[in-house]
């Protein structure tokens, strides 16, 4: 999802005008948006887990997928 589309959908759903601030979103809805964006619409967990465990798995996979690469300088001179 593009950032503009995300903000537009929030503004359309919001019944209150927050002025310069963005409308609030629940953590669950936010995680679902991030899961869809980084892992894809068809991402799922195929073993029986609680909702919280699914979110933990999704966060782990997102972090693995978006790892920062160490620069060669850091690799050579890290202790």
17-56 confidence digits (pLDDT tens): 888 888 999 999 999 999 999 999 999 899 999 999 999 9
Q: What is the pLDDT of residues 45-56, one digit of tens each?
A: 999 999 999 999
Distances, alpha carbon 6 to alpha carbons 29, 31, 41, 47, in Å: 11, 13, 15, 30
Distances, alpha carbon 11 to alpha carbons 24, 37, 44, 69, 76, in Å: 10, 19, 28, 36, 48
Number of domains in the chain: 1
Are the C-beta atoms of 52 and 62 separated by less than 8 Å? no
Determine the structural domain holding residue 72 and report its residue range.
Answer: 3-77
pLDDT of residue 62: 94
Are the C-beta atoms of 59 and 23 separated by less than 8 Å? no
Q: Where are the beta strands (DSSP E) in the chain?
A: none
């Amino acid at each position: 999802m593009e950032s503009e589309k995300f903000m537009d959908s929030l503004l359309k759903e919001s019944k209150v005008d927050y002025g310069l601030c963005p409308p609030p979103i629940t953590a669950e809805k936010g995680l679902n948006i991030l899961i869809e964006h980084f892992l894809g619409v068809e991402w799922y967990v195929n073993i029986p887990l609680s909702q919280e465990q699914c979110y933990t798995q999704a966060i782990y996979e997102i972090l693995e997928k978006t790892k920062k690469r160490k620069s060669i300088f850091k690799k050579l001179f890290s202790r």
